[in-house]
Each structure stands twice: as C-alpha cells, then as structure tokens.
Amino acid sequence: MSTVNTKLNRQVPGGRGHAAHPPLRPWKTVLIAASVSIVGMTLVYGLSQWRRTIACDPRFCINTADLKLVQDTSWMTPEIAGEIRASLASLPPRLSLMDHAASRRVAECLEANPWIRKVYHVRLDSPKAAGQSNGLEVSMAFRRPVAFVEIGQGDLARYVLVDCEGVRLGDREYAEPELGDRRLVVLTGVPTQPPTPGVVWADHAVIAGAQVADLLKNRAADFGLCRIDVGNVEKRLDRREPEIVLYTKRSATRVVWGKPPGREAELLENITARGKIQLLDQAYARFGGLHEAVEEINLVLRSVRPNAAPMRDGRATIRG
C-alpha cells in the first residue's frame, strides 16, 4: 500500500495524493477566450460611445472664444487682444474636456503668436453657474512693447512695435506712435526694413535702442523723452558723434546717452546704463523737468547745459 501511495505522490503535483484535474478540452478553451473577447470589445465600444456622447455634451465643452488671460494686460489694446485670440482660429470653436490633447493644442497655437513669449499653463474649465469663472484660462508671458520704430520720414513715416529684444510685435503699421492712450518712445535713424512679426530685427541699432527704451520704461514719459536716435550706432555715420542720443519733444533737450547698454567699457565710459538713468533722475529733480529747462545733458561726461539765459553757455556737473 505504501508503494502505491508513493507512486501517486510522485505523479500528482504537490505530493498530496489528490488526482489532478483533467485538462480543458480545446473547444472549451476557445469558447472561454471568445466570451472574454466579446465582453472586452463590448466594454470598449460602450466606453467609446459614452466618451463620444460626453464630448458633444455642452456641459463638458468650452468655447475657444472664452479665452481668459491671467496676467495683467492693462497695456493691451483691443486690437492686440484680437490678434492673440485669432491664434486659436485653427482650433474647432468648441473643445471637449475629454480631449486630453486640447490643452497642448491651445498652447502650441498661442506660442506661435508674436505677442506671446511662453505659455506656462492652460486650463479648460467646465461651465459653471453664472458669475463664476469658466472657459479657457491661460497663463503666459507676453512680449511687451517698449518702443516704436520709425520707417520712412515725413508724411510717409509709419511705425511698428518692438519688444526689449528687438522682436517685431504684430503685423500692424501705425500712422502715429500711439498704443491706445499711451505714447511710446520712437527709435529713429533706422535704415533697415522691418522683419516679419515674431522675428528679431536684424539691425544692432534697433536692438540697442530697444534696450535703452526698456531701461527707461515709464520714466521716459516723466522725463518728457519721445525719441531715441540710433542712426549712429556702431559709428555708421560719424565716428566723432555719440552712438545714441535721446530727445524730448520738438528736440528741445538733447541727451547724450553714448554707447549701447553693455558696451560702455569700449569707450572707457565709467558709468553703467542704470547709472545714466540715475543721472537723469538727478537732473529731473534739480531742474523740475527736462523738456525746455535743459538744453543738453551729457550722461557720459556727467554735464548739464541749462536753457536759462544767464547760463546759456555754462555747464553744470551732475554728481553721480
């Protein structure tokens, strides 16, 4: 008896002495596999139909026209906002919250716009009750305009916008250097033609002027500055004259800036660009303004020539 049990233990896995289940017949295996496949396909089909139904449901869709910009856009005119929204024209008028690629597609469309430097986040927000935020919310970095570039002269002059890096913004040409109710400084003396929107202007003079305009920011209006002459950048006109000169209205005050920002050491200008802004602040405080109160300010030599008659030929020194 013990011999029989030993043989059974060797034949049965686990050595417990129980008989193994007979293998399934081939037709049963096929039937089970077919049943599992049918159930799986039914679930997949049902899920796809459910997703398709949800995708068309207005409760789970947003309109691409409902674009909400998170950043401060107080400088933005309705025309510029329209150019940004026009970037989404290639998308369908409604986006489904079930479309996982929708956020990426929105970001790609917006980043192709010249006004947008980078898109940080896109949120598709389902419609909510009245008064609550809904629609398409985008967090992005804009290219802010710092100056107009004058193309042509006189009655034929037209103006295009650039940012602090010399990138052309938008495809509009303005008849006047005005952006809504704001007047930006104008870069003059530029002989080259503007590039296509979103491309850096291939002219060092434009880039240098845009850098100066960016340093001045809102102070340009305080100082009464309206024009930056960059025609002599890289001494292209006269090696004896300064490269950059700023002017107030009607050229009443001439401000010698000198070298472009970052190149002051080439002419041993022992003063940085920010130091020059500080000197302008001092002159502004001393004379109560620059326009028509001062004939010339030389930021390189730290000198001021007032417009007052008794000091017409005299010079004052700015300490800095």
Nearest to 55 by CA among 126, 140, 135: 126
Contact status, residue 268 vs residue 257, Cβ threshold 8 Å: no
Residue-range definition of the domain harbouring residue 267: 147-317
- Alpha-carbon dihedral 308, 311, 314, 320, rounded to 10 degrees: -60
Give the per-residue pLDDT at 256. 96
In 143-291, the DSSP E strands lie at 147-151, 158-162, 168-174, 178-179, 182-183, 185-188, 225-229, 244-248, 254-258
Query: What is the pTM (predicted TM-score) of this model?
Result: 0.74
Spatial separation of the C-alpha atoms in residues 69 and 73, rounded to whole Å: 8
The whole-number average pLDDT for the span 301-312 is 70
Domain-located, residue 107: yes
Cβ neighbors of 227 (< 8 A, separation 6 or more) are: 185, 186, 188, 246, 247, 251
Give the per-residue pLDDT at 317. 54
Contact status, residue 147 vs residue 210, Cβ threshold 8 Å: yes
| Residue 43 pLDDT class (50, 70, 90 cuts) | low
pLDDT at 58 over 70: no
Domain-located, residue 42: no
Are both 115 and 171 inside the same structural domain?
A: no
Are both 208 and 154 inside the same structural domain?
A: yes
Tell me the per-residue pLDDT of 182-226, one tens digit each, with 9 for 90 and over.
889 999 999 999 999 999 999 999 999 999 999 998 889 889 999
pLDDT at 32 over 60: yes
CB atoms within 10 A of CB 173: 12
Q: Which helix or strand (DSSP H or E) is residue 119 part of?
A: strand 116-125
Out of 142, 168, 198, pick the residue that ends a domain. 142
Are both 215 and 286 inside the same structural domain?
A: yes
